[in-house]
Structure 1
Amino acid sequence: MTPAKLCSALVLGATGLVGSTLVAKLKNDPRYRQITCLVRASAGLASANCREVITDFSRLQHYGEYFQVSHVYVCLGTTIKQAGSKKASRDVDFELVYQAAQLAAMHQALSFVWISSVGADARSRSFYLRTKGELEEAIFALDGLNRPAPVRPSLLLGERKEFRLAERLAAMFAPIYSPLLRGRLAKYRPVGAETVAEQMIGLQHFG
Protein backbone atom coordinates (compact mmCIF):
# COMPACT_ATOMS: atom_id res chain seq x y z
CA MET A 1 0.00 0.00 0.00
CA THR A 2 1.06 3.57 -0.61
CA PRO A 3 2.42 5.17 2.59
CA ALA A 4 0.35 8.12 3.72
CA LYS A 5 3.23 10.55 3.35
CA LEU A 6 3.64 9.51 -0.28
CA CYS A 7 0.01 9.91 -1.31
CA SER A 8 -0.78 11.73 -4.53
CA ALA A 9 -4.11 13.14 -5.66
CA LEU A 10 -5.83 14.06 -8.90
CA VAL A 11 -8.64 16.64 -8.82
CA LEU A 12 -11.17 17.26 -11.57
CA GLY A 13 -13.40 20.29 -11.10
CA ALA A 14 -10.74 22.08 -9.09
CA THR A 15 -12.03 25.59 -9.82
CA GLY A 16 -15.61 25.14 -8.61
CA LEU A 17 -17.10 25.88 -5.21
CA VAL A 18 -16.18 22.54 -3.62
CA GLY A 19 -13.18 21.84 -5.84
CA SER A 20 -11.30 25.02 -4.96
CA THR A 21 -11.97 24.44 -1.27
CA LEU A 22 -10.79 20.85 -1.59
CA VAL A 23 -7.55 21.81 -3.34
CA ALA A 24 -6.74 24.33 -0.62
CA LYS A 25 -7.18 21.60 2.00
CA LEU A 26 -5.11 19.06 0.08
CA LYS A 27 -2.22 21.52 -0.28
CA ASN A 28 -2.04 21.78 3.51
CA ASP A 29 -2.52 18.07 4.19
CA PRO A 30 0.85 16.51 5.15
CA ARG A 31 -0.29 13.14 3.80
CA TYR A 32 -0.05 14.43 0.23
CA ARG A 33 3.20 14.94 -1.64
CA GLN A 34 1.65 15.91 -4.98
CA ILE A 35 -1.69 17.25 -6.15
CA THR A 36 -2.55 17.44 -9.85
CA CYS A 37 -5.50 19.51 -11.09
CA LEU A 38 -6.97 18.99 -14.54
CA VAL A 39 -8.31 22.41 -15.56
CA ARG A 40 -9.67 24.00 -18.73
CA ALA A 41 -7.52 27.08 -18.19
CA SER A 42 -4.96 28.18 -15.63
CA ALA A 43 -6.63 29.13 -12.37
CA GLY A 44 -3.60 30.07 -10.28
CA LEU A 45 -3.67 26.82 -8.30
CA ALA A 46 -0.05 25.84 -8.88
CA SER A 47 2.28 25.72 -5.87
CA ALA A 48 5.21 23.69 -4.59
CA ASN A 49 3.05 20.57 -4.21
CA CYS A 50 0.29 21.34 -6.72
CA ARG A 51 0.37 21.48 -10.51
CA GLU A 52 -2.19 22.47 -13.10
CA VAL A 53 -2.62 20.51 -16.32
CA ILE A 54 -4.52 22.39 -19.03
CA THR A 55 -7.01 19.82 -20.26
CA ASP A 56 -9.26 19.32 -23.27
CA PHE A 57 -12.08 17.51 -21.46
CA SER A 58 -13.58 16.38 -24.76
CA ARG A 59 -10.50 14.18 -25.04
CA LEU A 60 -10.20 13.12 -21.41
CA GLN A 61 -9.20 9.59 -22.38
CA HIS A 62 -5.88 11.00 -23.63
CA TYR A 63 -4.95 12.15 -20.11
CA GLY A 64 -4.83 8.69 -18.58
CA GLU A 65 -1.29 9.09 -17.30
CA TYR A 66 -2.49 11.62 -14.73
CA PHE A 67 -4.77 9.01 -13.17
CA GLN A 68 -1.75 7.07 -11.93
CA VAL A 69 -2.28 8.49 -8.44
CA SER A 70 -3.34 7.31 -5.00
CA HIS A 71 -6.63 9.20 -4.90
CA VAL A 72 -8.98 10.63 -7.50
CA TYR A 73 -11.39 13.41 -6.52
CA VAL A 74 -14.11 14.48 -8.95
CA CYS A 75 -15.94 17.72 -8.25
CA LEU A 76 -17.33 18.23 -11.75
CA GLY A 77 -20.89 19.46 -12.07
CA THR A 78 -23.11 21.86 -13.97
CA THR A 79 -26.75 22.87 -14.51
CA ILE A 80 -28.93 22.79 -17.61
CA LYS A 81 -28.95 26.60 -17.63
CA GLN A 82 -25.19 26.77 -17.38
CA ALA A 83 -24.56 23.97 -19.91
CA GLY A 84 -27.22 25.11 -22.37
CA SER A 85 -29.13 21.84 -22.78
CA LYS A 86 -29.94 18.56 -21.06
CA LYS A 87 -27.47 16.75 -23.30
CA ALA A 88 -24.67 19.19 -22.53
CA SER A 89 -25.49 18.94 -18.83
CA ARG A 90 -25.40 15.14 -18.93
CA ASP A 91 -22.10 15.25 -20.82
CA VAL A 92 -20.57 16.84 -17.71
CA ASP A 93 -22.59 15.32 -14.87
CA PHE A 94 -22.54 11.76 -16.21
CA GLU A 95 -20.17 11.20 -19.14
CA LEU A 96 -17.12 13.08 -17.84
CA VAL A 97 -17.38 11.68 -14.33
CA TYR A 98 -17.88 8.15 -15.66
CA GLN A 99 -14.87 8.51 -17.98
CA ALA A 100 -12.83 9.62 -14.98
CA ALA A 101 -13.97 6.52 -13.08
CA GLN A 102 -12.98 4.32 -16.01
CA LEU A 103 -9.52 5.88 -16.13
CA ALA A 104 -9.14 5.52 -12.35
CA ALA A 105 -9.99 1.83 -12.69
CA MET A 106 -7.63 1.36 -15.61
CA HIS A 107 -4.71 2.90 -13.72
CA GLN A 108 -5.61 1.33 -10.37
CA ALA A 109 -6.05 4.42 -8.23
CA LEU A 110 -6.49 3.37 -4.59
CA SER A 111 -9.82 5.16 -4.27
CA PHE A 112 -12.29 7.27 -6.23
CA VAL A 113 -14.52 9.89 -4.62
CA TRP A 114 -17.01 12.07 -6.46
CA ILE A 115 -19.82 14.52 -5.73
CA SER A 116 -23.30 13.13 -6.27
CA SER A 117 -26.43 14.60 -4.68
CA VAL A 118 -28.86 13.93 -1.89
CA GLY A 119 -31.85 12.21 -3.47
CA ALA A 120 -29.86 10.72 -6.35
CA ASP A 121 -32.08 8.05 -7.88
CA ALA A 122 -31.90 6.45 -11.32
CA ARG A 123 -35.73 6.26 -11.31
CA SER A 124 -36.35 9.87 -10.27
CA ARG A 125 -38.59 12.14 -12.36
CA SER A 126 -36.04 14.90 -11.86
CA PHE A 127 -33.52 14.96 -14.71
CA TYR A 128 -30.78 16.11 -12.34
CA LEU A 129 -31.41 13.47 -9.67
CA ARG A 130 -31.96 10.76 -12.28
CA THR A 131 -28.63 11.57 -13.91
CA LYS A 132 -26.85 11.46 -10.56
CA GLY A 133 -28.53 8.15 -9.71
CA GLU A 134 -27.69 6.58 -13.06
CA LEU A 135 -24.10 7.67 -12.59
CA GLU A 136 -23.89 6.07 -9.15
CA GLU A 137 -25.22 2.79 -10.52
CA ALA A 138 -22.81 2.87 -13.47
CA ILE A 139 -19.77 3.62 -11.31
CA PHE A 140 -20.59 0.95 -8.72
CA ALA A 141 -20.95 -1.58 -11.55
CA LEU A 142 -17.57 -0.68 -13.04
CA ASP A 143 -15.07 -3.54 -12.90
CA GLY A 144 -11.70 -2.88 -11.30
CA LEU A 145 -12.51 0.43 -9.63
CA ASN A 146 -11.11 0.57 -6.11
CA ARG A 147 -13.24 2.01 -3.29
CA PRO A 148 -15.75 4.14 -5.20
CA ALA A 149 -17.50 6.54 -2.79
CA PRO A 150 -20.03 9.28 -3.58
CA VAL A 151 -20.63 12.31 -1.39
CA ARG A 152 -24.30 13.33 -1.46
CA PRO A 153 -24.68 16.95 -0.35
CA SER A 154 -27.89 18.93 -0.34
CA LEU A 155 -27.82 22.64 -1.20
CA LEU A 156 -24.22 23.86 -1.21
CA LEU A 157 -23.44 27.01 0.73
CA GLY A 158 -20.63 29.29 -0.38
CA GLU A 159 -19.73 32.01 -2.86
CA ARG A 160 -19.95 30.75 -6.42
CA LYS A 161 -18.38 32.51 -9.39
CA GLU A 162 -21.73 32.45 -11.19
CA PHE A 163 -24.95 33.87 -9.77
CA ARG A 164 -27.74 31.36 -9.05
CA LEU A 165 -30.87 33.12 -7.78
CA ALA A 166 -32.63 30.02 -6.43
CA GLU A 167 -29.56 28.93 -4.49
CA ARG A 168 -28.97 32.46 -3.19
CA LEU A 169 -32.53 32.67 -1.86
CA ALA A 170 -32.37 29.19 -0.36
CA ALA A 171 -29.11 30.06 1.36
CA MET A 172 -30.59 33.27 2.77
CA PHE A 173 -33.44 31.37 4.43
CA ALA A 174 -31.34 28.35 5.44
CA PRO A 175 -30.90 29.52 9.06
CA ILE A 176 -34.70 29.50 9.39
CA TYR A 177 -35.61 26.15 7.86
CA SER A 178 -32.47 24.09 8.55
CA PRO A 179 -33.29 23.48 12.26
CA LEU A 180 -36.66 22.07 11.15
CA LEU A 181 -34.99 19.36 9.10
CA ARG A 182 -34.49 16.59 11.62
CA GLY A 183 -34.26 12.80 11.61
CA ARG A 184 -34.62 11.45 8.09
CA LEU A 185 -34.89 15.00 6.77
CA ALA A 186 -31.54 16.08 8.22
CA LYS A 187 -29.74 15.04 5.03
CA TYR A 188 -31.55 17.85 3.20
CA ARG A 189 -29.96 20.57 5.32
CA PRO A 190 -27.76 22.99 3.33
CA VAL A 191 -24.08 22.22 3.75
CA GLY A 192 -20.93 24.29 3.38
CA ALA A 193 -18.35 23.56 0.69
CA GLU A 194 -15.72 23.11 3.40
CA THR A 195 -17.76 20.34 5.02
CA VAL A 196 -18.18 18.55 1.70
CA ALA A 197 -14.46 18.82 0.97
CA GLU A 198 -13.67 17.34 4.39
CA GLN A 199 -16.12 14.49 3.76
CA MET A 200 -14.41 13.71 0.46
CA ILE A 201 -10.97 13.53 2.08
CA GLY A 202 -12.39 11.40 4.88
CA LEU A 203 -13.64 8.82 2.38
CA GLN A 204 -10.22 8.28 0.82
CA HIS A 205 -7.95 5.33 1.56
CA PHE A 206 -4.55 6.28 2.97
CA GLY A 207 -3.08 2.79 3.36
Structure 2
Amino acid sequence: MVHGYSALVLGSTGLVGQHLLEQLLKDEQYTSVTSLSRSMPMVDDASALTDKLNIVLSSLDNMADHQNVFDVDHVYVCLGTTIKQAGSKAQFKKVDHDYVVLAAQLAQAAQCKRFVWVSSVGADASSSSFYLRTKGKVEETIMKLQTQSGNKTQFIHVNPSLLLGERDTFRLAETVAGYLGKWFGWLMIGPLRKYRPVHASDVANWMRHPQQPTNG
Protein backbone atom coordinates (compact mmCIF):
# COMPACT_ATOMS: atom_id res chain seq x y z
CA MET A 1 0.00 0.00 0.00
CA VAL A 2 1.46 3.35 -1.03
CA HIS A 3 1.19 6.01 1.66
CA GLY A 4 2.87 8.78 -0.24
CA TYR A 5 5.38 9.84 2.40
CA SER A 6 7.87 12.60 1.73
CA ALA A 7 11.36 12.64 3.22
CA LEU A 8 14.41 14.86 3.65
CA VAL A 9 17.90 13.42 4.05
CA LEU A 10 20.84 15.37 5.44
CA GLY A 11 24.21 13.69 5.04
CA SER A 12 23.20 11.71 1.95
CA THR A 13 26.80 11.57 0.69
CA GLY A 14 28.09 9.86 3.84
CA LEU A 15 28.38 6.16 4.62
CA VAL A 16 24.95 5.70 6.21
CA GLY A 17 23.32 8.48 4.20
CA GLN A 18 24.13 6.88 0.85
CA HIS A 19 22.49 3.62 1.89
CA LEU A 20 19.49 5.41 3.36
CA LEU A 21 18.97 7.47 0.22
CA GLU A 22 19.02 4.35 -1.94
CA GLN A 23 16.58 2.58 0.36
CA LEU A 24 14.16 5.50 0.40
CA LEU A 25 14.24 5.77 -3.39
CA LYS A 26 13.37 2.07 -3.67
CA ASP A 27 10.72 2.24 -0.95
CA GLU A 28 7.28 2.57 -2.59
CA GLN A 29 5.89 4.22 0.54
CA TYR A 30 7.93 7.31 -0.31
CA THR A 31 6.88 9.39 -3.31
CA SER A 32 9.30 12.27 -2.76
CA VAL A 33 12.83 12.32 -1.35
CA THR A 34 14.91 15.46 -0.96
CA SER A 35 18.67 15.56 -0.39
CA LEU A 36 20.16 18.69 1.16
CA SER A 37 23.93 18.57 0.84
CA ARG A 38 26.89 20.50 -0.49
CA SER A 39 27.68 17.90 -3.15
CA MET A 40 25.77 15.58 -5.47
CA PRO A 41 24.66 12.29 -3.89
CA MET A 42 25.52 9.04 -5.63
CA VAL A 43 22.55 6.92 -6.69
CA ASP A 44 22.47 3.63 -8.60
CA ASP A 45 19.31 4.44 -10.50
CA ALA A 46 19.90 7.56 -12.61
CA SER A 47 16.19 7.84 -13.41
CA ALA A 48 15.57 8.67 -9.75
CA LEU A 49 17.26 12.00 -10.33
CA THR A 50 14.27 13.17 -12.33
CA ASP A 51 11.45 11.03 -10.95
CA LYS A 52 11.62 10.90 -7.18
CA LEU A 53 14.74 12.62 -5.92
CA ASN A 54 14.98 16.35 -5.38
CA ILE A 55 18.51 17.67 -4.88
CA VAL A 56 19.24 20.91 -3.08
CA LEU A 57 22.92 21.82 -3.17
CA SER A 58 23.96 24.10 -0.35
CA SER A 59 26.37 24.38 2.54
CA LEU A 60 24.75 23.33 5.78
CA ASP A 61 25.92 26.66 7.16
CA ASN A 62 22.93 27.99 5.19
CA MET A 63 20.52 25.35 6.42
CA ALA A 64 18.14 27.88 7.96
CA ASP A 65 17.72 29.48 4.53
CA HIS A 66 16.10 26.25 3.34
CA GLN A 67 13.29 25.97 5.87
CA ASN A 68 10.94 24.94 3.05
CA VAL A 69 12.69 21.60 2.48
CA PHE A 70 11.83 20.57 6.04
CA ASP A 71 8.14 20.60 5.14
CA VAL A 72 8.07 16.81 4.76
CA ASP A 73 6.75 13.81 6.68
CA HIS A 74 10.09 12.43 7.80
CA VAL A 75 13.50 14.05 8.28
CA TYR A 76 16.58 11.81 8.42
CA VAL A 77 19.94 13.16 9.59
CA CYS A 78 23.05 11.10 8.88
CA LEU A 79 25.64 13.78 9.61
CA GLY A 80 28.88 12.79 11.27
CA THR A 81 32.61 13.27 11.07
CA THR A 82 35.75 12.77 13.16
CA ILE A 83 37.92 15.33 14.89
CA LYS A 84 40.77 14.41 12.55
CA GLN A 85 38.62 14.80 9.47
CA ALA A 86 36.99 18.00 10.73
CA GLY A 87 40.34 19.53 11.68
CA SER A 88 39.43 20.62 15.21
CA LYS A 89 37.07 19.95 18.08
CA ALA A 90 35.18 23.12 17.24
CA GLN A 91 34.56 22.01 13.66
CA PHE A 92 33.62 18.53 14.83
CA LYS A 93 31.05 20.01 17.23
CA LYS A 94 29.69 22.17 14.43
CA VAL A 95 28.90 19.13 12.29
CA ASP A 96 27.94 16.54 14.90
CA HIS A 97 26.13 18.87 17.31
CA ASP A 98 25.17 22.26 15.90
CA TYR A 99 23.93 21.11 12.50
CA VAL A 100 21.95 18.21 13.98
CA VAL A 101 20.27 20.33 16.66
CA LEU A 102 19.42 23.06 14.14
CA ALA A 103 17.92 20.46 11.80
CA ALA A 104 15.75 19.17 14.65
CA GLN A 105 14.53 22.69 15.40
CA LEU A 106 13.71 23.34 11.74
CA ALA A 107 11.91 20.01 11.48
CA GLN A 108 9.87 20.80 14.57
CA ALA A 109 9.00 24.25 13.22
CA ALA A 110 7.77 22.58 10.03
CA GLN A 111 5.77 20.10 12.14
CA CYS A 112 7.22 17.06 10.38
CA LYS A 113 5.92 13.76 11.76
CA ARG A 114 9.25 12.08 12.48
CA PHE A 115 12.86 13.17 12.94
CA VAL A 116 15.47 10.40 13.04
CA TRP A 117 19.20 10.91 13.46
CA VAL A 118 22.36 8.84 13.89
CA SER A 119 23.92 9.07 17.34
CA SER A 120 26.39 6.57 18.80
CA VAL A 121 26.48 3.68 21.21
CA GLY A 122 27.77 5.02 24.54
CA ALA A 123 26.54 8.57 23.90
CA ASP A 124 26.51 10.36 27.25
CA ALA A 125 26.41 14.09 27.95
CA SER A 126 28.64 13.55 31.00
CA SER A 127 31.19 11.26 29.30
CA SER A 128 34.90 12.01 29.59
CA SER A 129 35.16 11.29 25.84
CA PHE A 130 34.64 14.45 23.80
CA TYR A 131 33.07 12.41 21.00
CA LEU A 132 30.58 10.59 23.21
CA ARG A 133 29.90 13.73 25.26
CA THR A 134 29.04 15.65 22.11
CA LYS A 135 26.72 12.89 20.90
CA GLY A 136 25.11 12.75 24.33
CA LYS A 137 24.51 16.48 24.42
CA VAL A 138 22.78 16.28 21.06
CA GLU A 139 20.44 13.57 22.39
CA GLU A 140 19.81 15.57 25.54
CA THR A 141 19.03 18.79 23.67
CA ILE A 142 16.81 17.27 21.00
CA MET A 143 14.82 15.06 23.36
CA LYS A 144 13.92 18.18 25.34
CA LEU A 145 12.14 19.38 22.21
CA GLN A 146 9.94 16.29 22.49
CA THR A 147 8.43 17.58 25.73
CA GLN A 148 7.56 21.05 24.46
CA SER A 149 3.91 21.98 24.44
CA GLY A 150 2.33 21.65 21.03
CA ASN A 151 5.15 19.54 19.63
CA LYS A 152 3.94 17.32 16.78
CA THR A 153 7.28 15.78 15.85
CA GLN A 154 8.52 12.41 17.09
CA PHE A 155 12.27 12.49 17.75
CA ILE A 156 14.20 9.22 17.47
CA HIS A 157 17.92 8.45 17.58
CA VAL A 158 19.69 5.25 16.57
CA ASN A 159 22.89 4.32 18.38
CA PRO A 160 25.14 2.11 16.27
CA SER A 161 28.61 0.95 17.21
CA LEU A 162 31.46 0.83 14.70
CA LEU A 163 30.14 1.24 11.17
CA LEU A 164 31.10 -1.22 8.46
CA GLY A 165 31.04 -0.35 4.77
CA GLU A 166 33.09 1.19 1.99
CA ARG A 167 34.18 4.74 2.76
CA ASP A 168 35.55 7.41 0.46
CA THR A 169 38.37 8.04 2.92
CA PHE A 170 40.58 5.40 4.55
CA ARG A 171 40.45 5.14 8.35
CA LEU A 172 43.08 2.73 9.68
CA ALA A 173 41.66 2.30 13.18
CA GLU A 174 38.15 1.63 11.92
CA THR A 175 39.40 -0.72 9.22
CA VAL A 176 41.33 -2.82 11.75
CA ALA A 177 38.49 -2.75 14.28
CA GLY A 178 35.99 -3.69 11.59
CA TYR A 179 38.14 -6.64 10.50
CA LEU A 180 38.41 -7.89 14.08
CA GLY A 181 34.72 -7.32 14.65
CA LYS A 182 33.77 -9.51 11.71
CA TRP A 183 35.74 -12.38 13.19
CA PHE A 184 35.09 -11.92 16.89
CA GLY A 185 31.80 -10.00 16.99
CA TRP A 186 29.96 -13.22 17.82
CA LEU A 187 31.71 -13.15 21.21
CA MET A 188 29.86 -9.93 22.05
CA ILE A 189 26.69 -11.25 23.64
CA GLY A 190 24.34 -9.98 26.31
CA PRO A 191 25.25 -6.44 27.42
CA LEU A 192 28.15 -6.41 24.93
CA ARG A 193 25.91 -7.06 21.94
CA LYS A 194 25.34 -3.34 21.34
CA TYR A 195 29.08 -2.91 20.70
CA ARG A 196 29.12 -5.26 17.73
CA PRO A 197 30.21 -3.59 14.47
CA VAL A 198 27.21 -3.00 12.22
CA HIS A 199 26.93 -2.42 8.50
CA ALA A 200 25.84 1.04 7.41
CA SER A 201 23.00 -0.43 5.34
CA ASP A 202 21.53 -1.98 8.50
CA VAL A 203 21.70 1.37 10.30
CA ALA A 204 19.87 2.97 7.37
CA ASN A 205 17.20 0.29 7.64
CA TRP A 206 16.83 0.93 11.38
CA MET A 207 16.26 4.59 10.62
CA ARG A 208 13.42 3.76 8.23
CA HIS A 209 11.91 1.30 10.72
CA PRO A 210 12.82 2.68 14.17
CA GLN A 211 10.12 0.58 15.86
CA GLN A 212 12.10 -2.55 15.08
CA PRO A 213 14.81 -3.78 17.50
CA THR A 214 18.49 -3.03 16.76
CA ASN A 215 21.73 -4.33 18.21
CA GLY A 216 21.98 -1.18 20.32
1:79 corresponds in structure 2 to: 82
1:156 corresponds in structure 2 to: 163
> Match for 1:158: what amino acid?
G
1:14 corresponds in structure 2 to: 12
> Match for 1:52: what amino acid?
I
> Match for 1:34: what amino acid?
S
Of 117, 138, 145, which residue of structure 2 is paired with 1:114? Answer: 117
Indicate how the Cα distance of structure 1 residues 145 and 83 shifts in structure 2: closer, same or farther if over 3 A, else same.
farther
Unaligned runs of 5+ in 2: 44-48, 212-216
**Is 1:52–2:55 an aligned residue pair?**
yes
The DSSP-based 3-state class of the residue aligned with 1:5 is coil
> Match for 2:26: what amino acid?
N
> Match for 1:147: what amino acid?
Q
For 2:197 and 2:99, the matched residues in 1 are separated by 26
Of 126, 130, 133, which residue of structure 2 is paired with 1:127? Answer: 130
2:95 corresponds in structure 1 to: 92
The DSSP-based 3-state class of the residue aligned with 1:97 is helix
Per chain length, whose mean CA-contact separation is higher, i.e. which structure has more relative contact order (CA < 8 Å, sep 6+)?
1
The DSSP-based 3-state class of the residue aligned with 1:117 is coil
Q: CA deviation at 1:145?
A: 5.6
For 1:155 and 1:13, the matched residues in 2 are separated by 18
For 1:169 and 1:47, the matched residues in 2 are separated by 40
Indicate how the Cα distance of structure 1 residues 47 and 181 shifts in structure 2: closer, same or farther if over 3 A, else same.
farther
- Alpha-carbon deviations, 1:19-49, whole Å to 9, x = none? 0000100001010000000010223442410
Give the length in aligned residue pairs.
202
Deviation above 3 Å: which 4+ runs of structure 1?
A: none
Matches within 5 A, 1:136-175: 136-142=139-145, 143=148, 144=151, 146-175=153-182
Of 72, 91, 96, which residue of structure 2 is paired with 1:69? Answer: 72
Contact 1:113–1:150, Cα closer than 8 Å, also in 2: yes
> Match for 1:27: what amino acid?
L
Contact 2:17–2:78, Cα closer than 8 Å, also in 1: yes
Q: CA deviation at 1:117?
A: 0.2
Unaligned runs of 5+ in 1: none
| TM-score normalised over the length of structure 1 | 0.94
The DSSP-based 3-state class of the residue aligned with 1:113 is strand
| TM-score normalised over the length of structure 2 | 0.90
Contact 2:13–2:40, Cα closer than 8 Å, also in 1: no
For 1:197 and 1:154, the matched residues in 2 are separated by 13
Contact 1:136–1:150, Cα closer than 8 Å, also in 2: yes
For 1:130 and 1:174, the matched residues in 2 are separated by 24
The DSSP-based 3-state class of the residue aligned with 1:141 is helix
For 1:4 and 1:55, the matched residues in 2 are separated by 31
